């Protein structure tokens, strides 16, 4: 099951424009966000770990704040790969990158792009080693945080929950306003049955996405919707079916194409003995499912 929308082509363009300056700003801003998010107890497995005065984090990731920015051989042929990824031609991009990496096996950016091409084909185990090459360059490498981010999602998809948690927390050290990492922490908390913790992390994700919408002047409907869908799962696990319904209603209000939300609404309405609403939700589910299949057939 994929816990996020398939919009990674646009996300990649955002991540690959990260610079060393962005990393520095992220480190400077993290303390402000910690003050806001100080409700996490020190005994929680989700408590943030401060950056260490050493070359290694406790999770084993390289970290040297004083390191010079890593330079590598610029490869003009990677521009065509970026275009392939932008067109969602992930398999073709992977073939192009194989030839490049045969010549430059430790090239960080080529490895990062290869990781993305595999990630988008749901080949998470194959993607991880390529992201690890980029991460091995250390946090002075401008795209370090992008590699950490994708490593976190691969680890989560592979069921490596503890590693994913550490990676999301590391990413938030550098990018404290990235809602997706809080969302990932929320998913991990759900898997552990930590419902209050999950609610906290998902609400933090919502706050970041809402702030991003204001800052960029663009909607974050799909991202906000997935958070409300998961808050519905939390509410249901805590026995609050009405709250679960309200969260799903908010989900489809924000993002009407969230197919599974309608089916969950159908089941909830049935359990609450609200047959008219149950049938309406089922009709919406059927309609959006047909649209999704038609869209896939057009690709």
Decide if 191 is inside a domain: no
Q: What Rg do the C-alpha atoms of the chain give, in angstroms? A: 20
Dihedral angle computed from the Cα positions of residues 125, 126, 131 and 132, in that order, rounded to the nearest 10 degrees: 70
User: Do both 25 and 147 map to the same domain?
Assistant: yes
Domain that holds residue 160: 1-176
The whole-number pLDDT of residue 28 equals: 38
User: Do both 6 and 39 map to the same domain?
Assistant: yes
- The CATH number for 80's domain is 1.25.40.10
Question: How far is Cα 252 from Cα 255, in angstroms, rounded to an integer?
Answer: 5
Instruction: Choose among 1, 6, 80: nearest CA to 260.
Output: 1
Q: Which residue's entry shows tokens 């990158």?
A: 97
User: Do both 132 and 272 map to the same domain?
Assistant: no
Beta-carbon neighbour count of residue 25 at 10 Å?
14
User: Do both 27 and 170 map to the same domain?
Assistant: yes
User: Do both 205 and 171 map to the same domain?
Assistant: no
Decide if 184 is inside a domain: no
Decide if 74 is inside a domain: yes
The whole-number pLDDT of residue 185 equals: 98
- Tens of pLDDT, residue by residue, the chain (299 residues): 334 334 444 454 444 433 333 333 333 344 444 444 543 443 444 544 333 333 445 455 655 544 444 567 789 999 999 999 999 999 999 999 999 999 999 999 999 999 999 999 999 999 999 999 999 988 788 899 999 999 999 999 999 999 999 999 999 999 999 999 999 999 999 999 999 999 999 999 999 999 999 998 888 999 999 999 999 999 999 999 999 999 999 999 999 999 999 999 999 999 999 999 999 999 999 999 999 998 877 55
Decide if 186 is inside a domain: no
The whole-number pLDDT of residue 219 equals: 82
Decide if 18 is inside a domain: yes
User: Do both 59 and 164 map to the same domain?
Assistant: yes
Decide if 153 is inside a domain: yes
In our burial notation (b when 16+ CB lie closer than 10 A, e otherwise), range 108-136 reads: bbbbbbbbbbbbbeeebebbbebbebbbe
Decide if 185 is inside a domain: no
The whole-number pLDDT of residue 7 equals: 46
The whole-number pLDDT of residue 71 equals: 67
User: Do both 158 and 238 map to the same domain?
Assistant: no
**In the structure encoding, which two tokens stand for residue 62, read together?**
């390289």
Instruction: Choose among 232, 230, 109, 252: nearest CA to 180.
Output: 230
**In the structure encoding, which two tokens stand for residue 8, read together?**
């990674």
Question: How far is Cα 48 from Cα 129, in angstroms, rounded to an integer?
Answer: 25
Domain end call among 176, 210, 241? 176
The whole-number pLDDT of residue 37 equals: 54
């Amino acid at each position: 099951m994929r816990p996020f929308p398939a919009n990674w082509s646009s996300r990649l363009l955002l991540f690959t424009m990260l610079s060393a300056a962005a990393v520095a700003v992220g480190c400077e801003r993290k303390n402000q966000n910690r003050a806001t998010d100080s409700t996490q107890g020190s005994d929680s497995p989700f408590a943030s770990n401060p950056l260490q005065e050493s070359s290694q984090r406790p999770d084993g990731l390289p970290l040297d704040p004083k390191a010079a920015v890593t330079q590598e051989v610029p490869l003009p042929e990677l521009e065509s790969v970026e275009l392939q990824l932008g067109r969602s031609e992930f398999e073709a991009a992977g073939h192009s990158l194989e030839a490049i990496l045969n010549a430059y096996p430790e090239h960080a950016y080529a490895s990062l792009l290869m990781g993305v091409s595999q990630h988008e084909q749901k080949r998470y185990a194959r993607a991880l080693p390529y992201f690890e090459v980029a991460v091995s360059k250390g946090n002075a490498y401008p795209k370090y945080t992008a590699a950490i981010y994708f490593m976190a999602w691969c680890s989560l998809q592979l069921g490596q929950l503890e590693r994913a948690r550490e990676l999301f927390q590391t990413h938030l050290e550098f990018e404290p306003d990235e809602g997706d990492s809080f969302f990932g922490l929320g998913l991990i908390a759900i898997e552990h049955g930590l419902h209050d913790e999950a609610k906290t992390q998902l609400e933090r994700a919502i706050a970041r996405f809402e702030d991003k919408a204001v800052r960029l002047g663009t909607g974050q409907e799909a991202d906000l919707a997935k958070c409300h869908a998961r808050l519905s799962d939390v509410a249901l696990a805590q026995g609050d079916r009405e709250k679960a319904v309200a969260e799903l209603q908010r989900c489809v209000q924000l993002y009407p194409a969230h197919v599974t939300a309608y089916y969950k609404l159908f089941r909830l309405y049935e359990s609450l003995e609200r047959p008219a609403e149950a049938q309406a939700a089922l009709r919406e589910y059927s309609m959006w499912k047909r649209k999704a299949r038609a869209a896939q057939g057009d690709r």
